[in-house]
Chain A
């Protein structure tokens, strides 16, 4: 059975989709696009589509991943076009490759996030980030399904910056362009429990009393393995492109924001 790996974005107002919303939308899109998806056997057959660590509800993303099993071999580029055309605008297919060996989830080691803080004070943000990075550990608490849980939000953060004068990535989380905002960029390692951007923000509040006035607008920019030589994120699908014929290599980390 051929497996296809799909990178997709959730943008704008569709960032409010939950993981379950997305899986329903994808199942329907696959049917509309006539992609010969494989079904599980048994009493209640389910399409073979699996998802790798979805961004939380309300968080936009340029780098979500899923895998589709198909019954007859498909051209990845055709699937990219057909699937994108069948999904509602805002759930946009960016890249499709035929899966090579190895689990995709293993390659998604880190995420790069962008956090827009509207009407926040940049100097305070810079100070808070410095304090956060200087700390050995920053214990935060988050309400999980089984109740509140305390964990360290510092160790997972590999990089945290406040880029100067940045406009941020357009067309992703924020609907309103040109508003004054502070932008945080962070590279966070995937751990258990997962450290999310809001945990880092909680950390900034704890170490420096830094609290943005309005809810943050968060976008995942990339996921992938960490390139130890450059410290940058690599495209997790590159490995598949190297081992399979056909698939066109796209530049890693490209943010195709239509």
Chain B
């Protein structure tokens, strides 16, 4: 029941009956591709009564359903919010252009897939941005929902548009479209925000939307862009970012869930009817990473390391398989083989699920022989897929620059172990465009791949082995030591990739054993502009969206030329945002957003990178230099617990 109570707010939202738009949508579905993605009804999805709840969230993953549904962040928040008695959460995804056109023609608004309610009727539209390439999809959703694109134009009947996810650590490019942004783990802050909204509504919405945003801002845990002004130097650099009213904190801090065993979600995994990109039950086995790879934003912003115990992992897997019927379990984290009891976890799960056609998977990126033992354990019950290793850089020198401590000997020893134990395919992942990279560094990838095949042929005594080399373009990210780096221009990246391809092709001894996958360098430039952009990039996003940009993460939809035209129209110099190296004292657009990392440490690490210095992993060597533990009042949380997984009771 909405408690509008004694004092009436400026508008009585929630009074109108909120009806399902499904009958109107249903008439459009026979005309679109894969209509099943729009109908909801997934196993374990929740539809709560609208009128008996008073805080209502529409959660959006701003990409297609097939990508958005398996997303862990949205799934966890969906479940946690729906567990609160008077709170309701439903999900909404980006609709493909075919349905968008029909919705516009028929006046059907952006809807949730759970109860097909119009998104504009909710209190909060919470968006999870894993990548900046979802920004244009947010604008489509806002527009279809009938919510003004600019936060400044929104009224009392519009939801609070709130962003989270890794890209929200620099929300400045989308600041004018957002009412709020949250940094870090969402579990506790989503509940806290719900309580603030509930209290404000129960008091009769005093002060309207503005006061609600103020109450959220005061806590220091929710960033409200409109309460901050940005001043610029005449040369375009930022002069200052400052609160523009009293009681708004200078810095907004990130949220960290310390005890993952207290938050064993998802408990009721969503099981889609439509085909999605990950068809499995996933358990996060820890959050954070302390390897200190300098390019890795995820590793920096999710510190410190917090492990889930072997006992909780076992219980979550057992429950998740039972609830979902999935036949694959993924053990997720940024570097899963680093869990202090991963060997026991792997063996325990493999024992428990022996003979049940349940396969286990581990995103294995560590390059050492231990990984092969794990992989053998994991493939006992199911398919033996390829093994993936990520040396990231093609030369020893470059790997030191990025702090990815893998020697050529390590890699050869590891792949030799893999090939000699019957694996036939190894995937190697690298990046192109890294700071200080030369043509020789990239050509080193070819040498490495050839040595891998040579070692594999010797170890297996067979020529029937393969190695696939995948290359991603490096994009400097906020809150990393490389946040000051000049991004490589796309001509350079493309030239190096072309030379590398020639090097593979021209070698008759190895060319057929090595697969080569890469993308051209242009999308990385757009991603780079969005990653390290400031509020002036908002105009580019709006221009490109008005020009038809949608689903920018999909190569068949992405248009570099359209983005460049949008930037030119907005008077934005793309090079200034991407290939320009920043000075130490330049104010960065995200400096007022606190990921816990000490700026001086980041800068020193950037200098170390250029000089080829290494950083130890604080999981094994105590170190508080990055600043996260002291500033956030946190500690790394790791085992071992010494416990083991017991056999499952046979049904």
Is B one of A's binding partners? Answer: yes
> Residues of A with Cβ closer than 8 Å to B?
13-14, 16-18, 20-21, 24-25, 27-32, 34, 39, 43-45, 47, 57-58, 86, 88-90, 175-176, 214-215
> Residues of B with Cβ closer than 8 Å to A?
22-23, 26-27, 29-31, 34-36, 38-43, 271, 273-275, 279, 321-327, 357, 383, 651
Q: Which of B23, B42, B273, B324 has the most CB of A within 10 A?
A: B273
A90 CB contacts on chain B under 8 angstroms:
41
Contact of B35 (CB < 8 Å), options: A24, A29, A58 = A58
Q: Are A89 and B41 in contact (CB under 8 A)?
A: yes
Given A32-B322, A45-B357, A88-B43, the answer on whether A18 and B36 have CB atoms closer than 8 Å is: yes
A29 CB contacts on chain B under 8 angstroms:
325
Shortest distance in angstroms between B234's beta carbon and chain A's nearest beta carbon? Answer: 57
Q: Are B35 and A28 in contact (CB under 8 A)?
A: no
Query: What CA separation (Å) do A32 and B35 show in the bound complex?
Result: 26
A44 CB contacts on chain B under 8 angstroms:
383
Using CB atoms, name the residue of chain B closest to A14. Answer: B41
Using CB atoms, name the residue of chain A closest to B22. Answer: A175
- 8 smallest A-B Cβ distances: which pairs? A28-B325, A32-B325, A13-B39, A16-B35, A31-B325, A215-B30, A16-B36, A21-B273
Q: Are A16 and B29 in contact (CB under 8 A)?
A: yes
Using CB atoms, name the residue of chain B closest to A88. Answer: B43
Q: Are A27 and B357 in contact (CB under 8 A)?
A: no
Q: Are A13 and B275 in contact (CB under 8 A)?
A: no
Query: What CA separation (Å) do A88 and B324 show in the bound complex?
Result: 11
Q: Are A88 and B274 in contact (CB under 8 A)?
A: no
Using CB atoms, name the residue of chain A closest to B40. Answer: A13
Shortest distance in angstroms between A52's beta carbon and chain B's nearest beta carbon? Answer: 20
Q: Are A30 and B325 in contact (CB under 8 A)?
A: yes
Q: Are A27 and B41 in contact (CB under 8 A)?
A: no
Q: Are B41 and A88 in contact (CB under 8 A)?
A: yes
B651 CB contacts on chain A under 8 angstroms:
34
Using CB atoms, name the residue of chain B closest to A45. Answer: B357
Q: Are B275 and A21 in contact (CB under 8 A)?
A: yes
Query: What CA separation (Å) do A58 and B39 show in the bound complex?
Result: 11
Query: What CA separation (Å) do A18 and B275 show in the bound complex?
Result: 10
A43 CB contacts on chain B under 8 angstroms:
383
Contact of B275 (CB < 8 Å), options: A16, A24, A45, A214 = A24
Q: Are A20 and B325 in contact (CB under 8 A)?
A: no
Q: Are A20 and B29 in contact (CB under 8 A)?
A: no
Shortest distance in angstroms between A39's beta carbon and chain B's nearest beta carbon? Answer: 6
Shortest distance in angstroms between A166's beta carbon and chain B's nearest beta carbon? Answer: 21
Q: Are A28 and B326 in contact (CB under 8 A)?
A: yes
A57 CB contacts on chain B under 8 angstroms:
35-36
Query: What CA separation (Å) do A27 and B31 show in the bound complex?
Result: 28
Given A16-B36, A21-B273, the answer on whether A88 and B383 have CB atoms closer than 8 Å is: no
Query: What CA separation (Å) do A182 and B38 show in the bound complex?
Result: 27
A30 CB contacts on chain B under 8 angstroms:
325
Contact of A13 (CB < 8 Å), options: B27, B41, B326 = B41
Query: What CA separation (Å) do A143 and B38 show in the bound complex?
Result: 25
Given A44-B383, A88-B41, the answer on whether A13 and B322 have CB atoms closer than 8 Å is: no
10 A-B pairs with CB atoms under 8 Å apart are: A13-B26, A25-B273, A32-B322, A45-B357, A57-B35, A58-B29, A88-B41, A88-B271, A90-B41, A175-B22
Query: What CA separation (Å) do A25 and B43 show in the bound complex?
Result: 9
B323 CB contacts on chain A under 8 angstroms:
32
Given A28-B325, A175-B26, the answer on whether A17 and B273 have CB atoms closer than 8 Å is: yes
Q: Are A88 and B42 in contact (CB under 8 A)?
A: yes
Q: Are A28 and B324 in contact (CB under 8 A)?
A: yes
Q: Are A21 and B36 in contact (CB under 8 A)?
A: yes
Shortest distance in angstroms between A51's beta carbon and chain B's nearest beta carbon? Answer: 15
Given A16-B29, A34-B651, the answer on whether A24 and B279 have CB atoms closer than 8 Å is: yes
Shortest distance in angstroms between A79's beta carbon and chain B's nearest beta carbon? Answer: 15
Using CB atoms, name the residue of chain B closest to A37. Answer: B357
B383 CB contacts on chain A under 8 angstroms:
43-44
Q: Are A14 and B273 in contact (CB under 8 A)?
A: yes
Query: What CA separation (Å) do A18 and B41 show in the bound complex?
Result: 15
Shortest distance in angstroms between B267's beta carbon and chain A's nearest beta carbon? Answer: 15
Query: What CA separation (Å) do A28 and B328 show in the bound complex?
Result: 11
Shortest distance in angstroms between B145's beta carbon and chain A's nearest beta carbon? Answer: 21
Query: What CA separation (Å) do A30 and B357 show in the bound complex?
Result: 13
Q: Are A58 and B26 in contact (CB under 8 A)?
A: no
Q: Are A14 and B39 in contact (CB under 8 A)?
A: yes
